[in-house]
Structure 1
Amino acid sequence: MIIDAVRNNAEWCQAMCAAHGHPGSFGPRAWTSTRRTPLYYPDAVTLTEDADVKDVLNGIDRTTPGASVKDSYARLDLTAEGFRLLFEASWIHRPAGLPGLPVTAGHSAVRTPEELAAWALAWSDGDVDEAALFRPELLDDPATTVLVYRAADGTILGGAVLSASARVTGVSNVFTTGDTPQSSVWAGVLAAVPDDRPVVGYESGDDLTAALAAGFQEAGPLRVWLDA
């Protein structure tokens, strides 16, 4: 299942880069972008366990510091190339057909650029520069669904992004505002995914704990490296 999660995540990176006007390229062992990717998104993603340093570094821009590599199988050591380990996380997987969670009314898909702008501001906790990451072009991607969780008065309480690929649906950018429990957002996420679709993603720390409580299982480690 890791291979499906890895591919799905790389396709989501591709969708985000395409929304910013410069999609990357899929090779046999890595996805790479020759232009610096949007904030928080890697410049390369390993797609196979046997991907090596050349597979990821030969296809990215290192003319300025800040390039990053998602080492999907936690097998690379990029320290000799001037990178440092930024963080570690776990791929997560929830099999198809499991019972969902009790859903609180208020989950829906973002449809308009105005709704997306409000969602992005809530996601970024009001940081305008970070919110600019989510461009309206994402709404034109049939594989991408931006979910929002609202209170009865319209206040945004949380959200997530779903990205559909061939065999799985990926979930990312899960967030809550105020005292909203993560379980409320996870319930809406799972309700939005067809019952016959496994759900994948990656998390760490408290976010991983919340995902496991929602029925996910850890599928394997990953690392993200940053060019110093």
Structure 2
Amino acid sequence: MITDDEVLAAAVRNNAEWCQSMCRAHGLTGAFGPRAWTSTARTPLYYPDAVTLTEEAGAGDVVTGIDRTTAGASVKDSYARVDLTSEGFRLLFEARWIARPAGLPTPAAPGDWRPVRTPEELAAWALAWSGDDAEDAALFRPELLADPATTIVAGYGDDGRIIGGGVLSASARVTGVSNLFAAGDMDPSAAWAGVLASVPADRPVVGYESGDDLPPARAAGFGELGPLRVWLGA
């Protein structure tokens, strides 16, 4: 039986591994240390330059391992314990880690939900995810399709258009969900159901959400594990 503390630690590690996968798709390589994951090169849009991995991590574990030659470096403080104000960072946002136990039934979702397999399908998925913002959509490169730990899931309506989706990232003990979205008038709860249908029933599912995105996650069977913070450097 995996405890809540173990699930939280697995969620933190899973998220750092997903950040590593995204960096790798952009030709970058981060490094896992005993208390933090860091990237010496600036990471892709919306992705942190460092992620704390333990409650014991301090400012020195993250700030010294990242590029701060230009503004905009960011740090994911996974346990909401590191104050980076004195290092010239400001708090960007707070969120909650979430987890869904293995074995819960998944309600049926409208549409046809399946993994994205080709670069063309990925390009369409990314535009739907970004709301037709081509610059944001360019974040999702075809290299991600070759990553065995990553599954990008799309939901298709009767007319063939994408109605929702998300990213699944498998790690040793859990599967992470990120970048979940519902397009048009799709209910976010239906998007959760569609994406979760692609996760093996015997694996806990983890991620993080904040604000108005938390209630649909709770409705999908997720409970809260604890806080996290994201800091942005000047």
TM range (shorter): over 0.9
Q: In structure 2, what residue type is equivalent to 1:111?
A: R
Q: 1:82 aligns with which of 88, 91, 106?
A: 88
Which structure 2 segments of 5+ residues have no match?
Answer: 1-6
* Counterpart in the other structure of 1:106: 112
What CA distance in whole angstroms lies between the structure 2 residues aligned with 1:126 and 1:105?
Answer: 21
1:171 partnered with 2:177: yes
1:93 partnered with 2:99: yes
Deviation at 1:105, TM superposition (A): 3.6
The list of structure 1 runs, each at least 4 consecutive aligned residues, that deviate by more than 4 angstroms after superposition, is none
CA root-mean-square deviation: 0.6
> After the TM superposition, which of the residue ranges 77-86 and 186-195 deviates more from structure 2?
186-195
What CA distance in whole angstroms lies between the structure 1 residues aligned with 2:12 and 2:226?
Answer: 11
What CA distance in whole angstroms lies between the structure 2 residues aligned with 1:102 and 1:140?
Answer: 28
1:186 partnered with 2:192: yes
Q: In structure 2, what residue type is equivalent to 1:65?
A: A
Which structure 1 segments of 5+ residues have no match?
Answer: none
What CA distance in whole angstroms lies between the structure 2 residues aligned with 1:158 and 1:99?
Answer: 20
| TM-score normalised by the chain length of structure 2 | 0.96
- Spell out the pairing of 1:1-228 with structure 2 (5 A cutoff): 1-228=7-234
What CA distance in whole angstroms lies between the structure 1 residues aligned with 2:19 and 2:29?
Answer: 9
Aligned residue pairs total 228
Deviation at 1:104, TM superposition (A): 2.4
What CA distance in whole angstroms lies between the structure 2 residues aligned with 1:138 and 1:94?
Answer: 25
TM-superposition CA deviations, 1:119-176 (whole Å, max 9, x none): 0011110111100000000000010000001101111111000000000000000011
| TM-score normalised by the chain length of structure 1 | 0.99
Deviation at 1:189, TM superposition (A): 1.6
Q: What percent of counterpart residues are identical? A: 72
Cα contact 1:101–1:190 (8 A) shared by 2: no
* Counterpart in the other structure of 2:3: none
